[in-house]
Each structure stands twice: as C-alpha cells, then as structure tokens.
Structure 1
C-alpha cells in the first residue's frame, strides 16, 4: 500500500509539474504575442485641408466608431468576457494628441496601434477598403472633436483568452485583415459600386468578407445577406433604421447597431446598399 501511495504521489507530482510548465508556456508565449510590435505600411492620405469634416463625422456614426469608442469618441469599456478578455476602446481624443495622421490611418486600415501594437477587435478587416479620402475625413473628424475625458485602461487578457491567443482562436486585427483581403464580395460593376462599398466597409465585419455569413461572436450567427434580396426598399430601410426584420423580432446584434449607427445612413446610401444586395441575391440563384 505504501508503495502504491508513493507512486501515486510521483504521478500527481509529475502531472502538477506538467500543468505548471504548460501554464508558464502559455503565459510567456501569449505575453510575447500580445506585446509584439508590427511594422505598418505607409498610408496614402489626401491633404487634410481637402478632407471633408462633414463626411468624417458621418462616417464616425455610420461605421459604428462611436458605438465602440463612445459618444464624442472619449472611449469606453465595450467588451468583457470573464477569464477571457476585457477591452476598452481608447479615448480617440487623447490618442489624436499623441499620434500622427499616418499612425491614425494605420490603426484604421491596418489594425496597428500608434505604439506599433496589433489591435484586438478592431474592424480593420472592413475598414481596409475605405478610400484615402474617407480615412482622411475620419482623421479630420477625430481631430476636430474636443479633447475630453481620460485615458482608458489597457486591455486585460485572462487565462482562457491567453490560451486562445496561443492556439490562434483569438486573432489580432492584422491577421483578420489578411483573411478578408483573400476573399472579397462580388463586384457587379460601376452601377452597384456604391452599395458594394458600403457592404464591404460596414456589413462584412459581421457577415464575413463575401457577405455569406459568419459567427461574429460565440453563439451569434450573422446570416448570408442574400436573405435581404427578398426585401423591398421600404422593408430594408426599416431594417437599417430600426434593426427589425419583417416579423418585428429583436435581433441580437443588428437591432442595437442599426439604432445606434445604421440609422444615420441617408436614403440614397440605403437604396444603393439595397440595390447591391438584391443584385447579389438574384445572381446567386
């Protein structure tokens, strides 16, 4: 009996050692990845005096920047999953005082922070297709917002999140950008270009690079947008402004983002997006 107990102790000791070694590896490997620096590419911007402040303020609303960064882009906590991650969207009025136009553009389109860090849950996979004029307009709008509030806390990644970082389940923005760049929504030519641009830079974040559906968060599936091909324009406009489909039910993500962001799209933009999605649905038949 003593011998059995002794060997049981040895086995448990070895298992404990392995667990500690695995935990140490995950901690150090994830820390290295979380603190890595990424080399950004130079951005092409138009002169700021030519950028449209009105357009930039419109993009801040329609592209859900204020939904994550808060009113007046002062920053807020926008994601908290126990033992996984706590993320604060930074106070952009503070960041703008420290970052150059190039660094702001790289954060928007490349998912790289002004200190060279890869960003988490930054929709640069969609924003990479914003035009030079649009990015310049966004930067102008951010800089035109009076600096207020305080700096937000740094991100906190818990043990489960660190495991996800190491095994690739949690991806940084530059990685997602590469995946989106390899698969794009179908181009139907100049007639539908405006609608496609809105779909790619706004809708693809939740519905995937080809708009064929995606699971943007665990347990929530954003459908293939061919479903909207059966909507007439008034029904689609109601969806965009209220987030409510024809049956009137609340949608987990769409209802909130529509009422905060998409309701700011004007009628012409909604009509252009609708025309593109209808054409896409018809061509898929």
Structure 2
C-alpha cells in the first residue's frame, strides 16, 4: 500500500513539475514576442479641420468598429475579461488625463493604427491593425482629426494582462491578432487616397475591416480571442453568401435581419457597419462575390 502511495505521489509531482515547466515555456515564448520592438518609418499624415472632414472621421471611427475597444467616446474600455484568455483594454484615445492623444503626433498615431506599434516601438497587444494596415493617408488623417476634436475624457488605461490560455493560443498561432505587428509589412508605402467607387479595388479596401473576425480569407470560423459562448464568424465569401443578393445583403447590414427574417446575432457589429455608405456596401458586396 505504501509503495502504491509513493508511486502515485511521484506521478503527481512529476505531472505538476512538467506542467509548471510547460507554463514557464509558454510564458517565456509569449513574452519574447510581445516585447519585440519594430522600426516603422513615419508617413506624413494630412491635416483636416473642416466640419465635413471631421464628420467623415467620426463615421470612420464608428463604421470601422473602433468603439468596440475604445468605447463610443474614445476613452477606452475592457473588452476581454476572462481568467483564461486574459484582461485586455483599449487605450484612452482622448486628450484627458490617462489618455494618449497629447503625447502622440499624428504620424505616431498612424503607426499605431496601421502597424500595431506603439510610441516606444513595442508591439501593441490585441490591436487589430491587420484590419487597418491598408487604410489610406487621407482616411487615417480624418480619423485622427476627429479624435483630436473629441471631448477630453479623464480615464486611466485599463488593465492589459494576458492569461495562460491566451498566451498558449497565441504561441501556437491561434490568436495572431494578439501581436498584429508580426503579420504586417512595415515597409509598405501607403496610398494617399482611394476614390470611393463600386469596384473590386474599393470593395477589397472596405472588406479589410471584416478580417479581424472573419479571417484574412473571409471564410469565417472561431473568432480570435473570443469566449467559447460566442458563435463562429460566418463564411462571407460567395459560397457563404449564396442565399443573398446585393439588395438583401445591404438590407441585412442596415437592419440586422437576414433575408429569412432571423436576427443577426452578436458579436456581428451590424450597427456599426450600417453606417457604411451605399457605395461602400455595394463595393463590398462586389468584392465578396469575387472570392
């Protein structure tokens, strides 16, 4: 009996030791990647001050889902709070106490938006810059101008604390958005502007907003970093949208209801996408039908 107890004790101690070593390895690997620094050459960002340009910047903020992480007023919020995945909070993008706006140039903000890299050159955690890496200088400029025109909100940065499961999924490649800077070409030359037209080029530009949830190939599946109760993202290629036409697709985005009358469920941000213009939605439909 004593021999069996001793064997069991050795077994459990060995398992605990191996598990501790495994956790240590995951922590070290994830930390090394999260603490990487990147050199990004700043791109001159045009300045905008007119009421129409600021209104367009606000529309970009709302329609591109910035409020999902940074709240409707730009003050930031905790959007993931799970013991396993971690606690992740968006930065305060206002000029208030705890905000980053006064401490960043337009060019530094553009690097954060399009490259996922902060002022100190370190990667931003869970910043979905893969969605915005192709954003034109003009659109980025209008977005930043809107942020600078918004009321200051005094609010300290929320906690950013990766959890053990979040770290593990990141290390094995299941949450690449954890450090989006790894996925981005930091030598790219950004477009000055892109005229809104119902075209494949412009549709692809708009569709970049969808990649954070639907994947780079837009075929859907589990959403990165989402809790297990969230439904998987839908396939929004031509195959996945076979029961839609252009009219019903746009109507669904505008109303949050599918052609069969069922409601589009959270976390699909149809309320934000409903702000897209007719040209954007028609171009998006055209592009999605091409893949």
TM-score normalised by length of structure 2: 0.79
SS in 2 for 1:80: strand
Q: How many residues align?
A: 267
Q: For residues 277 and 142 of structure 1, do their structure 2 counterparts lie closer, same or farther at Cα, with a shift above 3 Å needed?
A: same
Question: Could you tell me how far apart the structure 2 residues matched to 1:24 and 1:277 are?
Answer: 43
Q: Which residue of 1 aligns with 2:91?
A: 90
Q: Which residue of 1 aligns with 2:129?
A: 124
1:121-200 matches, within 5 Å, as: 121-171=126-176, 172-177=179-184, 191-199=199-207
Q: For residues 212 and 39 of structure 1, do their structure 2 counterparts lie closer, same or farther at Cα, with a shift above 3 Å needed?
A: same
The answer to whether 1:56 aligns with 2:57 is yes
SS in 2 for 1:270: helix
The answer to whether 1:246 aligns with 2:224 is no
Structure 1 residue aligned with 2:117, among 112, 125, 150? 112
Paired residues of 2:46 and 2:137 also in contact (CA < 8 A): no
Deviations 1:37-72 (A, max 9, x none): 321311323331489323222210111112321111
Paired residues of 1:215 and 1:222 also in contact (CA < 8 A): no
Paired residues of 2:38 and 2:123 also in contact (CA < 8 A): no
Deviations 1:237-265 (A, max 9, x none): 221112221012223346x5111x11212
Question: Could you tell me how far apart the structure 2 residues matched to 1:207 and 1:20 are?
Answer: 34
Computed over aligned residues only, the root mean square deviation of the Cα atoms, in angstroms, reads: 2.9
TM-score normalised by length of structure 1: 0.80
1:229, distance to aligned residue in structure 2 (A): 5.8
Q: Which residue of 1 aligns with 2:237?
A: 225
Higher helix share: 1
Question: Could you tell me how far apart the structure 1 residues matched to 2:41 and 2:141 are?
Answer: 14
Q: Which residue of 1 aligns with 2:193?
A: none
Q: Which residue of 1 aligns with 2:43?
A: 44
Q: For residues 151 and 233 of structure 1, do their structure 2 counterparts lie closer, same or farther at Cα, with a shift above 3 Å needed?
A: same
Q: Which residue of 2 aligns with 1:258?
A: 270
Structure 2 unmatched runs, 5+: 189-196
Q: For residues 176 and 4 of structure 1, do their structure 2 counterparts lie closer, same or farther at Cα, with a shift above 3 Å needed?
A: same
